[in-house]
Amino acid sequence: MKFINLFKIALKALRKNVFRTFLTMLGIIIGVASVITMLAIGQGSKDSIEGSISDLGSNLVMVLPGSSDKGGVSLGLGTSKPLDTKAVKDIAANCPSVKWVSPVSGDKAQLVAGSNNWLADVVGGNEDYVNIRSWKIHSGRNFTKVEERRAAKVCLLGKTVVEELFGTYSNPIGKTIRINYVPFKIIGLLEGKGADIMGDDQDDVVIAPFTTVQRRLLGSTKVQMIFASAYSNEVSETAKKEIEAILLKSLRVKKEDEVFSIATMEELTKTLTSASKTLVILLASIAAISLLVGGIGIMNIMYVTVKERTREVGLRMAVGAKGRDILLQFLTEATFISFVGGTIGVLLGMVAAMIFGEYVDDWEIVITPFSILLAFGCSFLVGVFFGWYPARKAANLIPIEALRYE
């Protein structure tokens, strides 16, 4: 039989039972849509986690006191040797893969501007700190090397701090705030970064020269952390090794003492992406289950449809249909349902994902061709298989058995 006739027969059969056709499609639509939505949300979370990691700073290498394996708790105060500025200088001088390096110290401090006051993190670093952390200056300027050396009382404010102390659309550059009663001149404003991976507001921060923070606010010569930036992502592991070697020498400690630990962005990325992968897998399994349930729905309806039409199969055979004609007819029907249902499902899934992205802040929605293909492919196969299987059974009957079927 010619394909066009087959297609017409199939369409006619579907039209005769619009509601059932729709119900069958519904299974596919829901299954496909849920896969698209879930994967879009999952992929989105993965991307946004990766995005916020690179927010921390490009190619960041962090030196922290103590052993990371022991959760930062060192072997005992006596053996813990603090990092110092000499170590920072040694790194700057001797590590070819390191672009920038900065000592970092800081604490929460009380900020007062006029009648407003606010508690925020005050971080001290050198003039390269903003580059290491990939902070962008929204307006004003960064402090200079000279200001850092002289312990100048200047600072840069994060977006949240500006809003809390001066109001949203204010320009406080040139004004003075008091940090723990010490007056600082505001020389620059930082561009907003939003929340970090843990959900903490990264913009709730004041950056000031390291020496100033050390002397005026902390009253200690300790260097809490050292942040460095490798030239590229590829050399960040090399940078880590160079820094480690220099530090062991500079601090005169052995590796086993675990006086410090070094973390690179790459390691951090790995841990966090594996966490986000877990989320993707979780969402994907939810989607897979709904696809399965949808699939079972399709199977069920397809199976019943074909069974119920066994007499029709018998009649068609009685007037001359060959097994192949019967098979192709049902296959065409199943394919049509799967195709139309799958297409609607993809569109619906995209809309649902976009609505989700609209209402949930900071959540990128990413629809990958892979998820479309996956959802479409699965439902298609299920639809076709369960249309084909009972049809083949009917087509293999001798006509009188099909005609007698009840």
Partner 1 sequence: MRTIITAEGITKTFDLGEVKVRALRGVDLDIHNGDFVAIMGHSGSGKSTFMNIIGCLDLPSEGMVFIDGEDISKLDKNQLADIRNKQIGFVFQSYNLLPRTTAMENVELPLLYNGNFSASERRALAKEALEKVGLGDRLEHLTNQLSGGQQQRVAIARALVNDPVVILADEPTGNLDTRTSFEIMHIFQELNEQGKTIMLVTHEPDIAEMTKRNIVFKDGRVVEDLTIKNPVNAKKELEKMPPEKDVITQTA
CA angle 155, 59, 146 (to 5 degrees): 30
Closest CB to partner 1 among residues 2, 254: 2
The answer to the question of residue 75 lying near partner 1 (CB under 8 A) is no
Q: CB under 8 Å to 262, separation ≥6 — which residues?
A: 61, 62, 63, 64, 240, 243, 244
Stretch that binds partner 1, among 1-9, 70-78, 170-178, 201-209 (CB under 8 A): 1-9
Rounded to the nearest whole angstrom, what is the least distance from the CB of residue 340 to partner 1 in the complex? 21
Q: Does 196 interact with partner 1 (rule: CB under 8 A)?
A: no
Rounded Cα distance between 326 and 28, Å, is 23
Does position 323 interact with partner 1 (CB under 8 A)? The reply is yes
Cα–Cα nearest to 299, from 10, 3, 6, 23: 23
Can residue 137 be called a binding residue for partner 1 (CB under 8 A)?
A: no
Question: Closest separation between CB of residue 347 and partner 1, Å?
Answer: 31
316 binds partner 1 (CB under 8 A): yes
Q: Find out whether 46 and 273 touch, Cβ atoms under 8 Å.
A: yes
Name residues contacting partner 1, limited to 325-354 (CB under 8 A): 325
Q: Does 400 bind partner 1 (CB under 8 A)?
A: yes
Cβ–Cβ under 8 Å, residues 168 and 137: no
- Among the listed residues 119, 318, 351, 355, the single contact to partner 1 using CB under 8 A: 318
Residues in the interface with partner 1 (CB under 8 A) total: 23
CA 287, 290, 292, 295 torsion-angle sign: negative
Q: Is the dihedral of CA 245, 251, 253, 258 positive or negative?
A: negative
DSSP letter, residue 322: -
CB 372 within 8 A of CB 36: yes
Which of 64, 112, 286, 315 touches partner 1 (CB under 8 A)?
315
Q: Which of 322, 351, 370, 377 binds partner 1 (CB under 8 A)?
A: 322
- Residue 393 beta carbon to partner 1: minimum distance, rounded to whole angstroms: 15
**Closer residue to partner 1 (CB): 287 or 402:** 402
CA 92 and chain centroid, separation: 33
User: H or E stretch including 393?
Assistant: helix 369-396
- Give the single-character DSSP code of 67: -
By CB under 8 A, name the one of 311, 343, 350, 357 that touches partner 1.
311
- Give the residue, chosen from 168, 320, 369, 406, that forms a contact with partner 1 under the rule CB under 8 A: 320
DSSP type of residue 192:
P
Contact with partner 1 (CB under 8 A): which of 197, 262, 321, 327? Answer: 321
The CB-of-399 to partner 1 minimum distance in angstroms stands at 4
Nearer Cβ to partner 1 (70/324):
324
254 binds partner 1 (CB under 8 A): no
Annotate 206-241 with DSSP letters as a single string: EEEEHHHIIIIII----B-EEEEEESSSTTHHHHHH
Nearer to partner 1, 89 or 322 (CB): 322
**147, containing H or E segment:** helix 145-149
Contact positions with partner 1 (CB under 8 A) in 2-21: 2, 5, 9, 12, 16
Spatial separation of the C-alpha atoms in residues 126 and 145, rounded to whole Å: 7
Query: How near is the Cβ of 281 to partner 1 at its closest, in Å?
Result: 48
Site residues for partner 1 per CB under 8 A: 1-2, 5, 9, 12, 16, 311-312, 315-325, 398-400, 403
